[in-house]
Structure 1
Amino acid sequence: MKNKKLNIKFRIPEELHKRMLLDLKRPHPFAYERVGFLFAKTVKLSPNVNLVIAIDYLPVGDNDYINDKEVGAKINSNAIRAAMQGVFEKDCGCFHVHLHNHSGRPSPSFTDAKSLPGIVKSLNNIAPKHTNGFLILSRDAFYSSIKTDSISVIGYPFLLQYPIKKTIKDLMFDRQSFLGTNSQSLFENIKVGIIGYGGGGSHIGQQLAHLGVKNLTIFDYDKMEDTNLNRLIGGVYTDIKKAILKVNIAKRVIKRIFPKSNLTLIAKKWQQAPEELQICDIILGGVDSYTERQQLEAECRRFLIPLIDIGMDVYDSGGYSMSGQVILSMPGSACMSCYGFLTEDKLAKEAAKYGNVGGRPQVVWPNGVLASTAVGVFVDLVTGWSGNSDGVYLSYDGNSGKITDHIRKQFTSEKCDHFRIENTGKPNYTKI
């Protein structure tokens, strides 16, 4: 039996991408272009899927260029040794990078095709267990010497690149063309995870199907119960007696809306199938507790996956009040702890017991409001249609129906010290 094709997903933090572009655009006294080295970890998610995560960038010093008029840039052995030293110290792979300063997908020049494979061979000799290659940047795209399933710059908005495929125009999506000429292609290729298919997650799944998001992975181990019927979109009375799994309700709803959808249904906790989460490009979470949020956020940060979290609560303080939140936890930017939403005190008390008005009060309309808002954040993150590039911490007042920026947002630095880029990838365990 033939081996299946190896799918490689390449993720680059926005901060590193910006740092590379700024460095490579700088003029040099005599070289026509600059080059550098991008260090990257490789994580094997399954026998057929590798994740390559960029963790650091090394510019080539001015004095390490050789004055050769026949090529755009030529570097000396000091630059190569510095890159090799970085590979040893970081225990990772390495990519030679340079810039073709135009928009659109770049392609290698004759000189690139002739000279760069030799550098890659040297890198493979010293780091054979890691992924090495060369990467050509343009202002908004890439050429990679390794065949990738996707290359993504993780920021707000995303910069996403997939193999070129012909997208057939579908009238179903004609009225959302303002999202961008390539929005349909992005929705067809991006892989989205939904953690929890309850009151919020069922709204999210339904709306993503209407948008034409094709590849969905849904995690929920629960079966339909009578207490779910007041809010789970697509759930019906007969599902209770049959004890239908919520993921199967998701399949029924989504396939009826968008038959072309490609669904991965995980009828267990995400911790029991972490590789299925790690392969996702974006996660939308509707988990029930602070502890679950902390675990989910940490996992997403380790694998450079943006997490859009939603949640609601009801309190009795002399009269019922309803509140909720939508938070974007973007790798490299403020996390839920930075925003003060997750605190040691909350985690210690496990305060997410949905108020003090009984067991987990939930109703359909606030879940719909929060889910719709989260889907809007997702669409903007993928397409960049609004032109916004700010962090997201939205507060919902269910009594007034208002959604506003949370007051903590204006006092929060977008730089996160809780999750460092160099700590991405699967955790290492050390005997003590």
Structure 2
Amino acid sequence: MRISTVTMFEQGSASMNRQQGEFLKVSQQIASGRRVVNPSDDPQAASRAVGVDQARAVTQQYTDARVSARNSLAQEESILNSISDANISAKTLLVQASSDTLSDVDRESIASELKGIYETMLGQANATDGNGRYLFGGYKDNAPPFVKVGDSVQYQGDSNAREQRIDASRLMPVADNGETIFKSVPSGAGYVAESIKTGVDGKPLVDDAARNKGNVTFSGPQIRDVNDDGYGDSYRIVFTENDDPDSGFDYQVQRFEDGGWLETEEDLVDSGVYTGTGQPLTFGGVNITLEGIPAEGDEILVAQAGSEQREPNLFRTMEEAIRVLENPADTPAKKADLRNTLNTAMRDLDNNLDNVLTVRASAGARLNELDVVDAVGSNRMLNYEQTLSDLVDLDYNAAISEYSLRQVGMQAAQKAFVDVKGLSLFNYM
């Protein structure tokens, strides 16, 4: 068989190109540190690597989301701590103001301090995060959640807690709304009394005409029996003048039911003659002691904190306390209003402090959960890195050995081609 010169050149060139291609492939692997430089190097490993890399990217996004969630919760926890301190300071001032030895000027000075605490609380309630969003407005975070309307503060946010997905299976609240913090009480909060007239919906009226004109004061209410059938209902004590001038006033204990007060005689919870000398009344599983002389139509609301008739509102509590401290207590009615309002305010502050501490504990628990999820996410990232390494990373020992082998092969192919192309029959003639 005869072999033409063209065939020798083609086979030699093909051999050198093949050896050079294999040599360059190993060189690329060593330079990049990857066994799979192109998908064609190992299609199955390349396909699996794409899926693992996508999962790793998603996990990294959740890691970044947890950083944002931790920042929000840490800021909320710090603000709740400030609110707790302000609450305690306000309660301390109210205890001081309850002393009968203070003058009107002393109480006005306390009111000035209380105003400062009130403004601090309002500022904290309208705190923003680093991006300019209001923390406690729910999803309405583009405007202050608490706004002064006239002499009162109203909540303009929504009732949702802003949430963030921190893992594939966990959607975590990262900021509680203002209602949860400033307009709520913990479960199991007791009864609160307030000496003020109520509307048809059972809620206290806010105008000055609704305030009692007499000087009846109350102690309590104290819980006596939580198993009483009427425990949890809302009540009001209404005073009316007695037909007998020597008997003074009558009282009626009415229960709120089906959207209104039950005022008919057969529906009354209790009724009788009010003596005005430390008279205890027991109804609905609670006990309250009354003292003083009422005026016609005076009322005392007795309702469970957090009910529709006694909706919690930290700012209203502060406003009422400031009001009675700023006004001189120069009449028996005003002195009774001072004492009753301060007693009610102190109970409301206690309930709010318990509520803030509950929310703060919840925020702390979520911060701890973030640590746990972070640890799981870190382990998951390590597993992804190991899987990717097994799929596409290079074994340098094997690669260097193959690099040397391909180098020798390429040199041998080049030398063989040089030797073969120089062969001629004339060398043997």
TM-score by length of 1: 0.21
More strand by share: 1
**Structure possessing the higher radius of gyration over alpha carbons:** 2
More helix by share: 2
Q: Which has the higher contact order (CA 8 A, sep 6+)?
A: 2
TM-score by length of 2: 0.21
